[in-house]
Amino acid sequence: MSDLQRGIAMEFVRVTEAAALRASRWLGNGNKEQVDQAASDAMRGMLDLISIKGTVIIGEGEKDRAPMLHIGEKVGNWNEDGPGVDIAVDPVDGTRLVANGLPNALSVVAAGEHGSLLPVPSFYMHKLACGPALKGKLDINAGVRENLKVAAAVLNKDVKDLTILILDRERHLSLIEEVRRAGARIKLISDGDVAGAIATAINSIDIYMGIGGAPEGVLAAAALRCLDGEIQTKFYATDDSEKEKIAAAGYQLDKVYYTEDLAKGEEIIFSATGITGGEFLEGVSFRGNQTAVTHSIVMRAKYRTVRYIKAIHNLKYKTIPSRARNTEEKV
């Protein structure tokens, strides 16, 4: 995919922009399904315009749960000369955030050559993510206090000055208490697993830790490959049934899956567009009834190139293809 990577990278920005624009129209409406449906339809329509033979290997839903993009779904225009590409998608990372008008929601796409993205099922993972300065220094198998002491030493700051980002979940109560006892600062987020992990390589978040979705872990790994950050993960099972499913899928509970296990090779593209704004991207804003503004990031692992893109969309002319209705529609 290397010869075409430069050309198609910008096409993926248009994909996440379209999904973000459509989802943002349902900001605060309280209906997660409507948010997801709008973003998924826009993402499908835009992906179909790209000259790739794409296969969704990480999707939001199973095949019988339309409208979400499902595992195994074919996307792209499948022209004969198009490259084969594996696609990982999350049309809305944080559907509840959009539905409730809260920050940190993104539209996300990662792409790579066949076999570059680990096709994890919808399980959960322990996660430990950090930026370039802490890459290779932390250990997901070590205790919280130990990792915080190492991070403080590497970053030349006191533990009390570290900022740890954690999903606000009941399952994290003991983790939160451990971080508090160690003396570090905590920032809790209600949703936005992908954005949370990426924030460690973008702004003032030092470490992201806790249990979150495995598919989101792969998307975060793709981004962190481009940002020279790191994510360490271990599969997490809530009961014996899940343990059996994880084993049946070919994964090990006691194995650490690192960044390059989840997103390997150099031919990785990552794109995200802010929907409600948050840790590192502003959300969609509408100016009168004529203009919408989006803020996106697109990255390539091969050269660690990171581009921030502010796009101004003229709503008088802007259309987004709908695969479900087989037509071009206004935002």
Residues contacting residue 105 through CB under 8 Å, at least 6 positions apart = 23, 92, 93, 94, 95, 97, 98, 191, 192, 195, 274, 275, 276, 278, 283
Element counts in the chain: helices (H) and strands (E): 9, 15
pLDDT of residue 6: 61
Nearest alpha carbon to residue 115 among 327, 267, 296: 267
Say if CB 228 and CB 134 are below 8 A apart: no
At 118, is the pLDDT very low, low, confident or very high (cuts 50, 70, 90)? very high
At residue 61, does pLDDT exceed 80? no
Q: What's the pLDDT tens digit per position in 155-175?
A: 999 999 999 999 999 999 999
At 274, is the pLDDT very low, low, confident or very high (cuts 50, 70, 90)? very high
Say if CB 194 and CB 219 are below 8 A apart: yes
pTM: 0.94
At residue 3, does pLDDT exceed 90? no
Its CATH class, for the domain covering 124-262, is alpha beta
CATH homologous superfamily of domain 2-115+267-330?
Fructose-1,6-Bisphosphatase, subunit A, domain 1 (3.30.540.10)
Q: What's the pLDDT tens digit per position in 208-228?
A: 999 999 999 999 999 999 999
At residue 324, does pLDDT exceed 90? no
Q: Where are the domains of the chain?
A: 2-115+267-330, 124-262
Q: How far apart are the first and last CA of the chain?
A: 32
Length of the chain: 331
